[in-house]
Amino acid sequence: MTLAINSRNRVFLTALLVTFSLLWFDTVQAQEAEPLPDYVIKQYGNPPTVPKGPLSKEIQSAVQVAFVDLVTEGSWGRDQTLALVKIVESKDPRIVWIISDLMRFANGQAMSRLLGSAASELLGKNLQVRNPWGGVTDHLIAWDIPAPPDYLRVKRAIFTSIVPGWDKIFVEGNIDWRLVSWGGVLIDDRKYDTTDELCNCIPAADNPEVSSAEDATWLKDDDIVFGIEINGESRAYPRRIMEVREMVNDTLGGRDLGIPYCTLCGAAQAYFTDQLPDGIERPVLRTSGLLIRSNKVMYDITTYSVFDTFLGHAVTGPLAKKNLQLKQASVVTTDWGTWKKEHPKTTVLVEKLALGRDPDFRNTRDANGPIFPVGDVDPRLPVHEDIIGVVTASGKPVAFQRSKAYVALKKGEAIAHENIRLKLDAGGIKAVDVDGSDLGSHQAFWFAWSQFHPDTILWPG
């Protein structure tokens, strides 16, 4: 489904844009909430005034017509135009969250300009940029604009009208629905171990076929792999395959694993999906097609419970009610030549799992920064700086700048923080405890780690 403006309604669009331009100079820029960090103000400016309390009945009705009725009818008409004028006149920037949701699915420049103008007026800033949806959403996140009342119901109506499979995803839970956006792909809702079936999605791989290192002649020594070792058994997951699959459900060293790879975050993680509390069956992880601040949203196909991918915590559904927290194993990002040299008995996923594709998102699509809205980013490191992230025994997240840590370790220097000890492993870095026990570390881009661990310590180097 796409959302477009009928030609007979273009006159209303023109009138609406004129109205917005006349109203522009009357927007209030003051904010009474907690002061934002200086770097946010420097990048995004001052936020607008945000009212409190419920929406008036008139604005509730306008929201229903402009957004919910729109996705039901499938096209923009006179009623939606008049409703949007009412919404703009309310000067309530909370409603821009709904406008942003709709902008993500808007088809054509006319629709994007219309919604972008409404968002600009409500936020008090001209956001008619090259990517209006991204610009609007970045400001909403950075300014931490609250969601409007009844937000999830309206958002659910918009998203499930596009992809009906999301109806089990958009439910109440411990998740900030403001930050959930569409990643441009459909949900992978295939049952367990049916991953050879074609899908219009990012296709997870269950129980993937593997080969010995000797038989993996298709891999070059400098190809990037994600190495995992469990109970003495090691396996390499080539980045070429993981950029296509983004999710693997596997068994290694006698343990069940769910292994998400977020190409946007540069983060491959490994979660144990066995030895769970009584009454919880093994989660089978899939890609939902949704994002939170440019991080993939994964879910369990058996219960439709959504997980915070970066933290491994169930946030909706039956598993959230049981407060399920998955434990992590370390993932070492390295090159194939070094990994197989130090792990000569390693297995590796077979080439056919790449489905004939060989993407290189890191050096192409993502080379100039995140392509989806992330809002404000902790300025201590560049957004795409590689870090090694791990959580201490006391629960404190710590990030180690990979480039500096690697040089220090190669020189024989010790790197430690509380119970954490960094060590070189097959050309990569992993974190262990004082007794050598794995602490479940992984590599990621700084923007992603710092967003999901906003109180993280940054190792000084």
pLDDT in tens, 384-394: 999 999 999 99
Which pLDDT value is given to residue 153? 96
CA angle at residue 374 from 368 to 379, to 5 degrees?
Answer: 75
Mean pLDDT value of segment 297-312: 96
**pLDDT for position 22:** 43
**Three-state SS string across 315-378, please?**
CEHHHHHCCCECCEECCEEEEHHHHHHHCCCCEEECHHHHCCCCCCHHHCCCCCCCCCCCCCCC
Least reliable range by pLDDT among 66-75, 111-120, 288-297: 66-75
pLDDT in tens, 409-432: 999 999 999 999 999 999 999 999
3-class DSSP state of 291: strand
The predicted structure's pLDDT at residue 28: 38
Ramachandran sector of residue 353 (left: φ over 0; alpha: ψ -120 to 50; beta: rest): alpha
What per-residue confidence (pLDDT) applies to 75? 79
In this predicted structure, the answer to whether residue 1 has a pLDDT above a threshold of 60 is no
Token pair, residue 140, equals 């909403």
For the segment 382-408, the average pLDDT, to the nearest whole number, is 96
Secondary structure of residue 71 in the 3-state scheme: helix
Predicted confidence (pLDDT) at residue 30 exceeds the cutoff of 90: no
In 3-state terms, what secondary structure has residue 461? coil
Give percent of the chain with pLDDT exceeding 70.
Answer: 89
Q: Whats the size of the chain, residue-wise?
A: 461
Per-residue pLDDT tens digits for 182-212: 999 999 999 888 767 778 899 999 999 999 9
Mean pLDDT value across residues 306-332: 96
Give which of 140, 138, 176 is closest to 155, Cα–Cα: 176
Give CA–CA dist 385/405, Å, rounded: 13
**Tens-place pLDDT, residues 73-114:** 877 888 999 999 999 999 999 999 999 999 998 877 788 889
- Which sequence spans correspond to the domains of the chain? 4-162, 182-361, 376-458
Task: For residue 25, count CB atoms less than 10 angstroms from its CB and return exposed for 0-12, middle for 13-18, buried for 19 or more.
Answer: exposed
Confidence of residue 152 (pLDDT cuts 50, 70, 90): very high
**pLDDT(7) > 50:** no
Give per-residue pLDDT as tens, 324-378.
999 999 999 999 999 999 999 999 999 999 988 777 666 666 666 688 999 999 9
Identify the CA nearest to 401 among candidates 389, 418, 391, 414.
389
Q: According to the model, what pLDDT value does residue 371 have?
A: 82
Comparison of pLDDT for 225 and 17, the residue scoring more? 225
d(CA 376, CA 293): 10
Contact present, 295 and 453 (Cβ < 8 Å): no
Q: What is the mean pLDDT of residues 151-179?
A: 94
- Percent of the chain past pLDDT 90, that is, above it, reads 79
